[in-house]
Amino acid sequence: MSWDFLYTIPLEIPSVQIKDIKFTPSIYSNQNNYPESGEIIQMNVQLLNNSLGTTSIDKIEIEGFPYTSIIEQKLPYKLNGNQTGNFSFLVAIPTDYSIDTIKSQFKIYHDKILSDTVALIKINKQIEDWESGTTSKFDWKIENQTWAIDSNMYEGDYSIKSQKIKNDDTATLSIEFLVEETNNLSFYYKTETEATYDELKFYIDDSLYVSFSGIFDWKLYNTMVSTGLHTLKWQYIKDFQDSDSSDCVWLDFIELPKFNATIPNEISFTNCIDTILTAEEVFNYTLETSEPNQIYNFQNINLPTWLTAKNSDQNITLSGIPPKTTIDTMYQFLFVANKADSFTQCVNKIKIKNETNDILNHLKHRINVHPNPASDYINLYIFNDENEYFYQIMSIHGVSLKQGKVSSKKTIDVSDLSNGIYNIKIQKENEFIYKKLIIKK
């Protein structure tokens, strides 16, 4: 099963263009058919060379995600005239994205840019796919048990189906909710009814939007719902005589507008790596999770071969020595943690440099502040460094508000700081650097 919810906007008319983008769940996702915060999903991109000649694609860039990695295809990739080709990518949806659309830019290169397309990729949708096998995921109202879960489905294993009713009777399924902002509403429907006379009708607040009847396989219906309190209602209504076929209707994969939604980010990593290391330097680091008393399942993707990872139930210990041959290499790798249906991921970046004595540069890439923006406290990390440093939290006008000493890790109470931008000054002898801190309550 795959799904596609997106709109694409081509920015140029090139000879190679994106024909289609589809998603499939990866093993680093909760396996339902929609992308959500914290998941790694597989993006399948179909390209079309709409010229007559062969074109070689040297590079594809996908912007808008913190991590993407190409799978199942090697570059450069030759595409003959009028031919299509497929690429698959793993993409990471950040844990802290509570938005519902990612704006992603696709750039395809051969020497110069061949194609530049923006795709709006929907995430975190409120979907009723009936895959729980129950009607309890949302607050559905079903009159007289006239609708029930069924295995004739559009996606997954289940849908909902109107039950046997008499002539002149009605099967009603409805839901009421407060829509936060004007948004898309869509559903798949299938009918096996007496054409014209026995109809599936869809209403918003008792206004009839659409009617379907006859014998048809699954189709998609799309509309918009405005901000405010609304009732969505699906009714199968029979007239006074006659029936056809199975005499019922089905619904599946109902995309509800966003309502009072808070994205469940139960877990997150606190100290993902973004650093520069010196070749042949010993690297030891512990990746921690926000709730250390929980038991997680960890997986890694693209871990550098010189780095080893040891998982306990709560954290991951990394150690390794980048060899001289890795100088100037930029490593990007992922850790994924999950617990039941919650996923989170950590994008890590390590660049290997030749040996340097530059203390400031050394420090700059070893400091991490989490959370940032912060409200009550911060953890100040100086990793892979045994030295003790002096820190000050300063207003943007240079007034020192807090100060102390830090080595490796320090938790600092910032609950008394008001909303705004601050600088953290980290100092050793006469050398210092600044790190920006945002307080947001």
Q: Edge-to-edge, what's the strand order for the sheet holding 40-49?
A: 16-25, 40-49, 84-92, 68-71
Beta carbon nearer to Ca ion, 140 or 434: 140
Beta carbon nearer to Ca ion, 193 or 348: 193
Q: Facing residues of 40 across strands?
A: 92
- List the structure tokens of 405: 């000493």
Chain centroid to CA 42 = 11
Beta carbon nearer to Ca ion, 32 or 55: 32
* Cβ 34 to Ca ion shortest distance, Å: 5
Beta carbon nearer to Ca ion, 261 or 414: 261
Helix (H/G/I), strand (E/B), else coil: 207: strand
- List the structure tokens of 376: 């009550």
Beta carbon nearer to Ca ion, 116 or 199: 199
Euclidean distance between CA atoms 189 and 187, whole angstroms: 6
* Cβ 41 to Ca ion shortest distance, Å: 7
* Cβ 54 to Ca ion shortest distance, Å: 38
* Cβ 153 to Ca ion shortest distance, Å: 5
Helices (H) and strands (E) in the chain, counts: 1, 35
Which residue has its beta carbon closest to Ca ion?
A: 156
* Cβ 143 to Ca ion shortest distance, Å: 19
Euclidean distance between CA atoms 21 and 119, whole angstroms: 9
- List the structure tokens of 329: 């290499």
Beta carbon nearer to Ca ion, 165 or 309: 165
* Cβ 32 to Ca ion shortest distance, Å: 5
* Cβ 186 to Ca ion shortest distance, Å: 14
Contacts of residue 340, defined as CB under 8 A and 6 or more positions apart, other chains included, come to: none
Residue 73 neighbours by CB distance under 10 Å: 14
SS (H, E, C) 53-106: CCEEECEEEEECCCCEEEECCCCCEEECCCCEEEEEEEEECCCCCCCCEEEEEE
What does the binding site for Ca ion look like in residue numbers (CB under 5 A)? Answer: 29-30, 32, 36, 129-130, 153, 155-156, 158, 194, 197-198, 239, 242, 252
Beta carbon nearer to Ca ion, 30 or 50: 30
